[in-house]
Amino acid sequence: MQHGGPPPSAAGIDPADLVALRDRLGHAGLDDHIFRVTETIGAGMIDPLRLPLVRQALRARGDAVSTLALLLVYATPVAEKDLRAAVGDAASDLLIRCGIVAPAEDGEVVSRLRVTPFGPLLIAADHPDAGPEAVMTPGGTTSLLANLIPDEISGRVLDVGTGPGTLALLAAARGADAVGTDVSERALAFASFNATLNGLSVDLRLGDLLAPVAGEQFALVVSQPPYVVQPQEMEHVTFMHGGTRGDDLALALAAAVSDVLTPGGVALLKFDMPLADGETATEHVRAVVGPAVSVAVFEQPGAGFHLQAVSYAALHDPTLGADFAERARMYCAHFAGLGVRRAAATTVVLVRPADAAAPRFTAGVAARALSDWDALRRRLTALEAAVQDDDGVLGIRVRAAEGCRLAVEREVDGADGERRYFARFEPGAAVSDTELAPIEAALLQRVGGGALVADVVAGFADEIGAEPAAAAEPVLNFVRENVARGLLVLADQ
Ligand SMILES: C[S@@+](CC[C@H](N)C(=O)[O-])C[C@H]1O[C@@H](n2cnc3c(N)ncnc32)[C@H](O)[C@@H]1O
């Protein structure tokens, strides 16, 4: 069935009753834990392929939370008596009254909308096949941004393209004065409902990108703008399509966002960037954002184009029928026509320096360094320190990143053979293994568990029998490059 229809409505309902509904669903078990069961089934496959197995697993469990997950998350009709047994009559009636659930044939109920647990929140959104104005359910990429929102916030936070309000509501739940903007009236209707459902208050504004907040400033801006490529002949789907290249809208936002950042403010933008051979995501962003901001691009390889084409086509047509096949072909042909070879999945972090005269940094960083706000903040502080002028960098103390081991390798049969040096980390560490030039290995050893950069220069000058001035350049380059790649951190971090 094609989903859609009116957004949920709180009209005539006491807001306290909606909060009680949220609590009732939570008490019945509808929280993030259910995803540990369902999202490991066929992980990585497109949803229509794995959903039969997810449904089977939930039916086999047969408990209250499985009934709710089947109905509200996985678009599966359930017996009305099972819903009533799971959450009681009052909550069941309210789900029907606000338009989330509708009675169907044979004593069953169906969900018209999707209700997803997201941390402390419940978020009503559309099923993805609800047409060109579908409102996006929070997903993995939303969680990635959510992890980067500080646990406690006192300032103003802006969520651009808020959709059903997910990130703005999360920021509000963590203490922020939150504003959510969206170009879609339908999205804002969902966001408003979700604010009531979660007993939170957010300021919701309609309009294109930053237009609704022109002249205002925020300590934190978060956004997951639409970033799917739009083939010319395909109709525009507001939550997905970000322009011909896909990243057009996101880059327009990146270029303008410094206007709404407070001094010291940070913008976190999540989107995919298609890249031509030889092009890097970091250079691409730096070229559009101008000199006002520092740039750190946290990158991981994106899905290949065939997989992307299939995933996007499946959002349009989850039946995987003729429409799916035609759209998959259109996406593939479009990617081929763009002349790009790969897409990078990026989180772009833009910082407006607190001191307007401070130098700006530009860094490309592996995405796994980006676990939470504290890790991000530490990395930004280190990047700020390492981009200072030479005297500034000589005055900082650095150390090797946690868990770094210096490994020396030599061919087994090469008694006098060349040695190779590596900085190695445990699997899953925030920094990846890196081969080092011999001089870098020597400097890494000097830095060890913590050293003033000026002292590293003096020791290195002694070692090579040079004046400190001559030893400074290679040491400063070593510090700057390796702070950027995370091998070195500030000693007090
Ligand atoms: C990928 S969804 C993200 C939803 C939600 N923020 C999240 O992270 O789950 C992108 C959102 O941007 C909105 N959008 C699309 N074009 C926009 C524009 N020009 N200005 C503001 N919002 C826009 C869409 O309506 C949609 O809600």
Ligand 1 pocket residue status of 184, Cβ below 6 Å: yes
Ligand 1 pocket residue status of 75, Cβ below 6 Å: no
Which of 143, 159, 162 has most ligand 1 atoms within 8 Å of CB, for mutation?
162
Q: pLDDT by residue for the chain (493 residues), tens digit each?
A: 456 689 999 999 999 999 999 999 999 999 999 998 899 999 989 999 999 999 999 999 999 999 999 999 999 999 999 999 999 999 999 999 999 999 999 999 999 999 999 999 999 999 888 889 999 999 999 999 999 999 999 899 999 999 999 999 999 999 999 999 999 999 999 999 999 999 999 999 999 999 999 999 999 999 999 999 999 999 999 999 999 999 999 999 999 999 999 999 999 999 999 988 888 999 999 999 989 999 999 988 778 889 999 999 999 999 999 999 999 999 999 999 988 878 899 999 999 999 999 999 999 987 776 889 999 999 999 999 999 999 999 999 999 999 999 999 887 776 667 889 999 998 878 788 899 999 999 999 999 889 999 999 999 999 989 888 889 999 999 999 999 888 999 998 8
Q: Tell me if residue 342 falls in helix, strand or coil.
A: strand
- CB within 8 A of 334, min separation 6: which ones? 229, 230, 231, 232
Task: Provide the strand spans (E) within 199-325.
Answer: 203-206, 218-223, 261-275, 294-301
CA of 225 to the centre of ligand 1 (A): 5
Task: Answer whether residue 459 is part of any domain.
Answer: yes
Which of 239, 240, 311 has most ligand 1 atoms within 8 Å of CB, for mutation?
239
Torsion angles phi and psi, residue 412, rounded to 5: -60, -40
Ligand 1 pocket residue status of 213, Cβ below 6 Å: no
CA of 304 to the centre of ligand 1 (A): 23
Classify burial at 19, counting beta carbons within 10 Å of its beta carbon; exposed 0-12, middle 13-18, buried 19 or more: middle
Classify burial at 40, counting beta carbons within 10 Å of its beta carbon; exposed 0-12, middle 13-18, buried 19 or more: exposed
CA of 31 to the centre of ligand 1 (A): 24
Side by side, which strands form the sheet with 488-490?
A: 451-452, 397-400, 488-490
Task: Answer whether residue 416 is part of any domain.
Answer: yes
Q: State the total domains in the chain.
A: 1
How far, CA to CA in Å, does 329 sit from each of 2, 323, 332? 21, 10, 5
From atom 6 of ligand 1, which residue's Cα is the shortest distance away? 162
Task: Answer whether residue 35 is part of any domain.
Answer: no
Closest CA to 168 of 223, 109, 86: 223
Closest CA to 360 of 296, 420, 300: 296
Q: Tell me how far apart the alpha carbons of residues 74 and 30 are, in angstroms, rounded to a whole number.
A: 12
CB 388 within 8 A of CB 337: no
Q: What is the pTM of this model?
A: 0.94
Ligand 1 pocket residue status of 162, Cβ below 6 Å: yes
Task: Answer whether residue 95 is part of any domain.
Answer: no
Task: Answer whether residue 170 is part of any domain.
Answer: no
Tokens encoding 210: 């930053």
Which of 182, 194, 247, 257 has most ligand 1 atoms within 8 Å of CB, for mutation?
182
Q: Are strands 156-160 and 121-125 parallel, antiparallel or unpaired?
A: unpaired
Closest CA to 138 of 73, 198, 65: 73
CA of 272 to the centre of ligand 1 (A): 14
Beta bridge partners of 158: 179, 221
- Phi/psi class of residue 461: alpha, beta or left (left: φ > 0; alpha: ψ in -120 to 50)? alpha
Closest CA to 315 of 46, 96, 101, 66: 46
Ligand 1 pocket residue status of 225, Cβ below 6 Å: yes
CA of 251 to the centre of ligand 1 (A): 14
Its domain, for residue 430, covers 385-490
Task: Answer whether residue 43 is part of any domain.
Answer: no
How far, CA to CA in Å, does 164 sit from each of 118, 154, 201? 12, 23, 13
Ligand 1 pocket residue status of 183, Cβ below 6 Å: yes
Task: Answer whether residue 479 is part of any domain.
Answer: yes
Tokens encoding 211: 């237009």
CB 228 within 8 A of CB 250: no
DSSP assignment of 182-223: ES-HHHHHHHHHHHHHTT---EEEESSTTGGGTT--EEEEEE
Task: Answer whether residue 54 is part of any domain.
Answer: no
Kind plus residue range of the DSSP H or E element containing 306 = helix 305-316
Classify burial at 267, counting beta carbons within 10 Å of its beta carbon; exposed 0-12, middle 13-18, buried 19 or more: buried
From atom 9 of ligand 1, which residue's Cα is the shortest distance away? 138
